[in-house]
Structure 1
Amino acid sequence: MEKPNIKMVRVDERLIHGQGQLWIKSLGVNLVICANDKVAEDEMQQTLMSAIVPKEVGLRFWSVEKTAKVIWKAAPHQTIFVLVSNVEDAKRLCDLGFPMDELNIGNIHAAEGKEKISQFIYLGQEDKDALKALETEYHVSFNTKTSPVSNDGVQYIDALVKAIH
């Protein structure tokens, strides 16, 4: 099977939000996939998120498992932006055969037991374990760019790598 044209896979607990428009425009994609088990079943969340995505861009709300299966059916003309809410779901995608070369770690909220990596990234042990597996088992590289118009991602990648090793 031909590898799908995935422009970016991004971890952002907010999934699709106002900043998402910047990513969609910057990446030049024509399909956004929100790979999240809860949102795949929540019509209210889907409605709210749909309001943000330009009408000319396709939008799918699929479970992690469905995303991993269906991605291989993407047409060559489809340029795809995939969003997951956490690194464990990114790892689940890979466990299920999803082709991921790079993962953008955009926004993981602070919580008890999580280590601050940057203003927008806090990692718990489960996050670190999933990232380490993504790196060692699936050879996924990481970036920590928070928006397509910022250069802030470079300064945090070292902290991210250090946290998972």
Structure 2
Amino acid sequence: MSGADGALVRIDSRLVHGQVVAAWVRAIGARRIVVANDEAAGNPMRQRVMRMAVPQGVEVLFETVSEAADTLRALGCGPTLAVVETPADALALVEAGVRPTVVNVGNLHMAAGKRRVAPAVAVDDGDRAALRALRERGVEVVVRRTPLVPEGSLDWL
């Protein structure tokens, strides 16, 4: 059993931000947030901005997707919120041996070639393929903006 068993992996184009992160940290009792994003891992300015949204007493780590996979597999006990920017990044974590309890699709911005499938969720064929691959690997995938709203439908998947 890996150390990441029990982690919630959240897919959010914005990564770490205000009320949403605070709500998920509170809901799962997370003591740490692992931001798995290659660009943010090397961008101290972006890290400073994101740290402002992290609740006091919660550890936050900024790592590349590869480093985050190693960290999540090695973590000891305690609930963890892992945040990635794309479904492909969530799949990369799982393919590297991370076993989350659930992958939460929370926010994927609209962009060229994407289709809105839920409030705040727009996907393209690559996103859909990655989410399907997660489900094929036995990972529970849900669409949910915050813990206070019901899960959205995955009929589009």
What's the TM-score bracket when you normalise by the shorter of the two chains?
over 0.9
Task: Give the secondary structure class of the aligned counterpart of 1:98.
Answer: coil
Deviation digits for residues 98-120 of structure 1, max 9, x if unmatched? 11342100000111211211121
Cα distance 1:140–1:124, how it changes in 2: closer, same or farther (>3 A)?
A: same
Partner Cα distance (2:102, 2:59) in 1: 22
Aligned residue in 2 for 1:107: 107
Partner Cα distance (1:108, 1:4) in 2: 24
Q: Residue type matched to 1:123 in 2?
A: V
Is 1:163 equivalent to 2:147 in the alignment? no
- The alignment of Structure 1 onto Structure 2 pairs a total of residues equal to 156
Partner Cα distance (2:41, 2:23) in 1: 23
Contact 1:3-1:72 within 8 A present in 2 as well: yes
Partner Cα distance (2:51, 2:99) in 1: 25
Equivalent residues in 2 for 1:1-165, closer than 5 Å: 2-18=2-18, 19-76=20-77, 78-136=78-136, 138-151=137-150, 153=151, 156-157=152-153, 160=154, 162-164=155-157
State the shift of 1:7 in Å.
3.8
Contact 2:9-2:102 within 8 A present in 1 as well: yes
Contact 1:115-1:122 within 8 A present in 2 as well: yes
State the shift of 1:5 in Å.
4.8
Contact 2:12-2:108 within 8 A present in 1 as well: yes
**Unaligned residue ranges in structure 2 (runs of 5+):** none
Task: Give the secondary structure class of the aligned counterpart of 2:120.
Answer: coil
Partner Cα distance (1:47, 1:39) in 2: 10
Q: Residue type matched to 1:107 in 2?
A: N
State the shift of 1:2 in Å.
4.5
TM-score by length of 2: 0.92
Cα distance 1:7–1:92, how it changes in 2: closer, same or farther (>3 A)?
A: closer
Partner Cα distance (1:112, 1:20) in 2: 27
Contact 2:7-2:100 within 8 A present in 1 as well: no
Bigger radius of gyration among the two = 1
Partner Cα distance (2:74, 2:130) in 1: 26
Instruction: From the two aligned structures, give the one with the greater helix fraction.
Output: 1
Partner Cα distance (2:142, 2:67) in 1: 25
Task: Give the secondary structure class of the aligned counterpart of 1:39.
Answer: helix
**Unaligned residue ranges in structure 1 (runs of 5+):** none
